[in-house]
């Protein structure tokens, strides 16, 4: 498949609110815990890169607002991010210049750079946006180890899940995503001069009907026309959707790799 560099998941699609809600339910606790490890100063300035549904931007605003801090939330499409006190929303394309001349005590990007071929150039821009002594937190999937079924009613069901997961991976790569970026972020952040670089990884099982399984199913729904064009059948996609609602079914989650680094004071 040729690489198109077009983000595979359109946030203007009908499934986008449900999909982003499932992603937030599955991964926000991990991200919030990771942010909690960073000692933000009073009046902290934060930049949430690729705000999506806005849950982490809202969390940051709640965190820093009591001491006079502010949060900038940017994305190509901000319709799903609601306004809040202490939160500024700005439409922005990371492939252009920085959204402002401000410098931030925390810059956070979750599941953003892995989808953009210019990820190394953008990483350097994000570092430029960090204030001296501030932090950059990058969270990405390690998709070199694909999601796999753990329990299914039949062996054939496991084969169907495997097939749809493989086709989805191929579509993401064709759209410019790098499945290995999560594993490369630590070295990349150290190479651009950040200090105290530290990585934490998270993976678990997802039972049918859980937030993670809903996310997986909604990804399949949103990519359905492209999956069919890539060779999946209607019956296979329908079966995957049904399996991911069954509590007796379990699959491995995507491995979230969370890497933080500090800009020298």
Assigned domain for 163 exists? no
Do 146 and 260 touch, CB atoms closer than 8 A? no
Whether 112 maps to a domain, the answer reads: yes
Q: Report if residue 83 sits inside a domain.
A: yes
Give the number of domains in the chain: 1
168 pLDDT exceeds 80? yes
Residue 3 reports pLDDT greater than 50: no
Q: Over 60: is that where the pLDDT of 38 sits?
A: yes
In a domain, 243, yes or no: no
CATH number at residue 52: 3.40.50.150
The pLDDT assigned to 200 comes to 97
Asked if 79 and 47 touch (Cβ cutoff 8 Å), the reply is: no
Dump pLDDT digits (tens) for 105-125: 999 999 999 999 999 999 999
Position 133 scores a pLDDT of 98
The closest alpha carbon to 213, from 25, 14, 29, belongs to: 25
Sheet holding 205-207, edge to edge: 149-151, 250-252, 205-207
The answer on pLDDT for 156 being more than 70 is yes
Domain limits at 121?
Answer: 16-146+178-206+254-262
* pLDDT above 60 (res 5): no
């Amino acid at each position: 498949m040729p690489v198109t560099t077009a983000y595979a998941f359109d946030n203007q699609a009908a499934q986008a609110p449900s999909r982003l809600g499932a992603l937030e339910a599955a991964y926000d606790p991990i991200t919030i815990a990771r942010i909690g490890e960073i000692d933000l100063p009073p009046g902290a300035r934060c930049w949430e890169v690729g705000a999506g549904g806005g849950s982490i931007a809202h969390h940051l605003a709640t965190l820093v607002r009591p001491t006079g801090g502010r949060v900038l939330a940017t994305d190509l499409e901000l319709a799903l991010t609601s306004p809040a006190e202490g939160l500024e929303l700005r439409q922005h394309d990371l492939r252009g210049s920085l959204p402002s001349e401000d410098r931030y005590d925390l810059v956070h990007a979750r599941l953003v750079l892995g989808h953009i071929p210019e990820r190394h150039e953008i990483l350097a821009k994000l570092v430029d946006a960090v204030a001296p002594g501030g932090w950059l937190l990058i969270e990405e999937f390690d998709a070199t180890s694909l999601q796999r079924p753990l329990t299914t009613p039949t062996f054939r069901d496991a084969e169907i899940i495997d097939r749809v997961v493989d086709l989805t991976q191929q579509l993401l790569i064709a759209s410019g995503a790098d499945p290995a970026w999560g594993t490369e972020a630590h070295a990349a952040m150290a190479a651009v001069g950040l200090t105290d670089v530290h990585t934490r990884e998270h993976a678990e099982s997802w039972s049918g009907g859980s937030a993670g399984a809903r996310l997986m199913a909604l990804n399949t729904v949103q990519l359905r026309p492209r999956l069919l064009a890539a060779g999946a059948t209607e019956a296979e996609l329908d079966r995957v959707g049904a399996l991911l609602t069954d509590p007796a079914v379990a699959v491995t989650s995507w491995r979230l790799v969370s890497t933080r680094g500090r800009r020298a004071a």
